[in-house]
Amino acid sequence: MTPAPETSEGAVLGGALVEARGLWKTYPMPAGPVDALRGADIRIGRGEYVAVTGPSGCGKSTLLHILGCVDSPSRGTLHFEGRPVAGLPDSERSRLRLTRIGFVFQRFYLVPMLTAWENVEIVQSEAGAGKAARRERTAELLDFVGLSDRAGHRPSQLSGGEMQRVAIARALANRPSLLLADEPTGELDEETGEQIASLFGRLHAAGTSLVVVTHNPALAERAGRRLSMRGGRILEEGA
Amino acid sequence: MKRIPGILLAFVIAARSAAGLAEAPGTGVPSILVTRQLAEARHLSTGDVVRLSNDPSGKDPRTFRIAGVYEPVPDPMRLTAKRWEARMHLGDLLGMTADPADPAAAEEVSAIHLASRNRTDLPRLQRAIAARAPGVLVAASDLPEGADPFRVLERFHVAISIVAVFGSTAFLLALMVIRAEERREVAGILRLVGFPRGKILRQVLVEGIAVAGAGAVFGVVLAMATQGIVNAFFQWHYDTALVFVRVTPGLAVQCVLVAVPLGAVAGFVASWSLLRREVVDLLRR
Amino acid sequence: MSPAAFALRSLGRDPVRAALGIAGIAIVGALLLDMLLLSRGLLVSFGDLLESTGFEVRVTATDALPGMGPPIEEGNEALRKIAALPEADEAVAVRFGEGCVRLASGRERGVGVFAIGFNRRKEWTILERDDLPAPNAGPGASEVPSLLASRTFASEAGLRPGDRVKLRPGSPGDESVLPATEFRVAGIASFPFDGEGSRTAAMGLPSFSAAHLGGDRPRGADPGGEADLLLVSLRPGESPEGAVAAIRRVAPGLRVFSIEEFLARFGRTDFSYFRQISAALAGITGFFVFLLVATLLTVSVNQRLGEVAALRALGFSRRRVASDLVAESALLVGAGAALSVPLGLALARVLDGILRTMPGLPERLHFFVATPRAFLLHALILGGAALLAAAWPIGLAARLPIAATLRKELVG
């Protein structure tokens, strides 16, 4: 097994990577507003592996989207690497997501007309990486996830587990400080889910900070911290 | 007879008076009718007294009273010509234009228009007139087939319509392909549970005919609504009463007969290309 | 990966849809090009025809078309004054008339006649044998007046160069006391303003007057001094506008036109129908392209909202998403536009062939003429349509709520 690739901050540094206080998220609905998050507080340190569990509709994905600057809270504060996110324009938030945060989705969301190689490479070229650097990094990542021999295949030619591994490689392409995963094994069988869990374990061992929303016990067990949510609130923490 | 300048072209009517065209009572001033276009351009109205001359310099004008304003019969062959025209009695016109030194000038006319009782007997009538008045050119009013510019324009418009139909068909097929693709999963499920291809295709055909029919009717209604706008614009632009666009029942039926089969066939072809695939392919994400 | 490369891949994921879209744009784009060729084609072609005669300025008695209105009385005097102007190189008088020829079968056929003063320029193209002889050609010159016959006139009357033919004044069926005049066919020529199948004869002014081919003329006037049209060619370096102003000074009361003024008048009147219809159809086809591309792109974006949301979540900026869509639109329209040019040119030949069957049109007149302006407008309209068409789908994609879209994709 190849060693985990570098991420942006290999050593565990002091200070929180992500700090959120009093997060509320309210969705206006025809039948009345719905509070998906109700005053959630969360702090993610560098090098931490946090699993977020809870029943469907408890606000896990909403929390992840806010932490990943994909969505904005209705109320509350969010700091990423000590910098407030709230007032940032969309272009800067996009840049943050591109270079500092990696996202893995339940449905993979690979670009269907690009090969595995191109899916990993495209986010690097968008970040401005040079050709040689992109080539080296892409090869490293595909090797890490065990798909070097499938680099030229399109998503339609890959299995679910293989697609998710490509998605993980893509999320790591720009050496993010934080990797967020929303039900990464939700569409996979148990065995494949275990492979993904193992991959996350290796990433954490190499120093990557991870926040994973999951129903999968194998994935949750490997986390250093477990947060359980219910009704939009973070109820408890477990180790 | 002096050639009449175009701007003062006068229509000569028959010896009998037309309605409203008579000497104004008690004045001795002969009456004329003027076209609406001339009246608007020169701010004339019924009752005005005007002077007309056969000479561009205005030499030897004669006085006439405007008895009325009329809309000239639109002539597509003279679409861009300014219809500044006046109608007067033949005698008044001859008095204005004939050379007094020429005794025969008072008897000259440019043309005699005849309305026959029996249109099918025109050739015999033409021969009879030519025999009684040799040297007179006798011609029917209809243009010979090859000499009608509007037949040419009709062919031109039909050619453009054919090209437009081809372009629309490509667009239509693209939309039908998109629609078929959107229903790929549904089609796959139906096939999976046992629906035969033919049954699904028949449903698609019925749906296609309904949608194409509604679209064709909408198109005809839209054309009928916009024909007024088109006519209004061109009538204003050319200052004419000519009708440029007319959606006739025959034309509407023609359009529907072209559009409905095209739409139905396009939907059928798009769906058939999808249903030819294996069930597994239809259900694959 | 550049937006163009990404767009190419996007189009390639559904090649049938892309091909149909490109085909639709190509066909409609061809029609658009043809309407742009038509909008000024007639004027350009007519202008070329006028310029081919070598005369830059025309003079008539009234605003009526040459030969349709009254003649220029004292035309010789006007000609003399114009020819004396420093701007003028040559000035010639032209007369129009009608003649009648009796064929071997006994039937009579009308012949359009025009007579022109001798000049250095060639208003016609000699197809067989000789041109008209110069006046005072010297000993041996034929005492029988000469004419040039059009191809149709010559073939219908069975004429060869050197043959004799009699032309009488008037139209077939006219009763005229004026005798027919015998002419010698000097040659067979093609005349620039002749329609297909036109019977035309050209001759010198003295022959025309002597044969009384000018039709009705007022008694007492000097038929030999009249002209239906004066043609003026300019010295090198002289501007038509300057020459027109100079001629108007020496011949007030006459109508003087440069070719440009003549064409502007035609553009406002006789040719205006084609300009109107080409403008209307160009607008409709441009709108059609916009509609087609906008529909295809919008549907495409709607079908991959999840993918777009994921790319946005990964850090793709709005500008990048917009660039991808603009590139996709540009590729669709660009490919369609490239195909539309040869298609449009081929279609223009067909449409031109249809319109040229109109009776009485000069054979060399074309309705569809390729000009740089038409191609430039074609590119601008299609380019504008491509940009506008991308606007709505760009708005959809760039402004989609990322989280809500991802959630909806999961649920849906």
Q: Is the pLDDT of residue C220 over 80?
A: no
B81 and B191 both lie in a single domain? no
Percent helix / strand / coil, chain A, rounded to 5: 35, 25, 40
Nearest Cα residue in chain A from C306: A109
pLDDT at residue C222 greater than cutoff 70: no
Q: Quote the Cα angle for A88-A94-A100, to 5°.
A: 95
Q: Is C10 exposed, middle or buried (0-12, 13-18, 19+ CB in 10 A)?
A: buried
Enter the ipTM.
0.80
Q: Average pLDDT, stretch C385-392?
A: 90
Q: What are phi and psi of A204, to 5 degrees?
A: -65, -40
Q: Is C105 exposed, middle or buried (0-12, 13-18, 19+ CB in 10 A)?
A: exposed
B276 in the same domain as B152? yes
Tell me the chain C residues in contact with residue B173 when contact means C-beta distances shorter than 8 Å.
Answer: 20
Residue B264 and residue B155 share a domain: yes
* For range C312-321, the mean pLDDT: 92
% of chain C surpassing 70 pLDDT? 93
| C324 contact residues in A (CB cutoff 8 A) | none
CA distance C139 to chain B (A): 42
Q: Is residue A4 part of a domain?
A: no
**Terminal C-alpha separation, chain A:** 28
Query: Residue C215 — pLDDT band, cuts 50, 70, 90?
Result: low
Structural domain that includes position B30: 6-110
Q: Are A6 and A175 in contact, with CB atoms under 8 Å apart?
A: yes
Chains contacting B with at least 3 CB pairs below 8 Å? C
Rounded Cα gap, residues B1 and A68, in angstroms: 97
- The reply to whether A7 falls in a domain is no
| B133 lies in some domain | no
Interface test with B, best of C273, C276, C296, C366 (most B CBs within 10 A): C273
Q: Return residues 55-74 of B near C (CB < 8 Å).
A: 56
C65 pLDDT band, cuts 50/70/90, is: confident
In a domain, A191, yes or no: yes
Mean per-residue pLDDT, C125-137: 72
* Helix ranges, B21-148 (H): 36-41, 90-97, 122-132
Low-confidence ranges of chain A (pLDDT < 50): 1, 9-14
| Cα–Cα distance for residue pair C46/C267, rounded to 1 Å | 10
* Per-run averaged pLDDT (10 residues), chain B, 285 residues: 36 34 64 93 93 82 93 77 87 83 77 80 78 72 64 88 89 86 80 77 84 90 90 86 89 91 87 78 68
C324-373 pLDDT per residue, tens = 989 999 999 999 999 999 999 999 999 999 998 887 788 888 999 999 99
Q: What is the mean pLDDT of chain C?
A: 86
Instruction: Evaluate whether C148 touches C162 at the Cβ level (below 8 Å).
Output: no
Place of tokens 């005798």: C179
Residue B129 lies in a domain: no
Element (H, E) at B251: helix B249-275
Query: Would you place residue C411 in the very low, low, confident or very high pLDDT band (cuts 50, 70, 90)?
Result: low
H helix or E strand, kind and range, residue A34: strand A34-45
Q: Assess if residue A165 is contained within a domain.
A: yes
Statement: residue C64 has pLDDT above 50? yes
Higher-confidence residue of C387 and C130: namely: C387
Q: Which of A103, A200, A107 is nearest to A145 (CA)?
A: A200
Same domain? For B32 and B102 the reply is yes
User: Which of A93-102, B64-73, C185-194, C263-272 is predicted with the least confidence, judged by mean pLDDT?
Assistant: C263-272
Residues C218, B178: C-beta atoms closer than 8 Å: no
Number of domains in chain B: 2
Cα C376 to Cα C384: distance, rounded to the nearest angstrom: 12
Domain ranges of chain C: 3-50+271-411, 62-253
Considering CB atoms only, which of C1, C311, C313 is closest to A118? Answer: C1
User: Which positions in chain C have a beta carbon within 8 angstroms of at least one beta carbon in chain B?
Assistant: 14, 16-17, 20-21, 23-24, 27-28, 30-31, 62-64, 69-70, 171, 173-175, 216, 218-219, 268-270, 272-273, 276, 281, 288, 291-292, 295-296, 299, 303, 347, 350-351, 354-355, 357-359
Contact residues on chain B for C28, CB-CB shorter than 8 A: 164, 167
Residues B78 and B162 in one domain: no
pLDDT band at C37; cut points 50, 70, 90:
very high
Q: Are B163 and B258 contained in the same domain?
A: yes
Beta strand segments in A186-238, E = 209-213, 225-230, 233-238
The answer to whether position A112 is within a domain reads yes
The answer to whether position A159 is within a domain reads: yes
pLDDT of C176 reads 63
Q: Total domain count for chain A? A: 1
**Is C389 within 8 Å of C297 (Cβ atoms)?**
yes
CATH number for the domain harbouring residue A164: 3.40.50.300
Kindly tell me if the per-residue pLDDT of C106 is higher than 50: yes
Determine contact: B150 vs chain C, CB below 8 A.
no
- CB contact A60 to C (< 8 Å): no
Is B187 a member of any domain? yes
**Joined tokens for residue B59:** 């030499």
For residue B149, the distance in angstroms to the closest alpha carbon of chain C comes to: 5
**Alpha-carbon distance B272 to nearest alpha carbon in chain C (angstroms):** 14
Residue A12 lies in a domain: no
Model confidence pLDDT, tens digit, residues A204-215: 888 899 999 998
Q: Do C354 and B152 touch (CB under 8 A)?
A: yes
Same domain, B179 and B106: no
Residue B57: inside a domain: yes
> Taking a C-beta distance cutoff of 8 angstroms, is the pair C91, C231 a contact?
yes
Amino acid (one-letter) located at B117: R
Structure tokens at C274: 């084609």
Q: How confident is the model at residue C223 (pLDDT cuts 50, 70, 90)?
A: low
Note the pLDDT of residue A238.
64
- For the domain that residue B39 is a member of, what is the CATH number? 2.40.40
> What CA–CA distance (Å, rounded) separates A175 from A123?
11
A174 within domain boundaries: yes
pTM above 0.90, yes or no: no
Is residue C56 very low, low, confident or very high in pLDDT (cuts 50, 70, 90)?
very high
Between C277 and C59, the more confident residue is C59
Taking CB atoms within 8 Å and a gap of at least 24, the contacts of B55-61 are: B55/B5, B56/B5, B56/B7, B56/C62
Q: Is C14 in the A-facing interface, judged by CB distances under 8 Å?
A: no
B70 with B156, same domain: the answer is no
- Tell me the residue range of the domain where A176 lies: 17-238
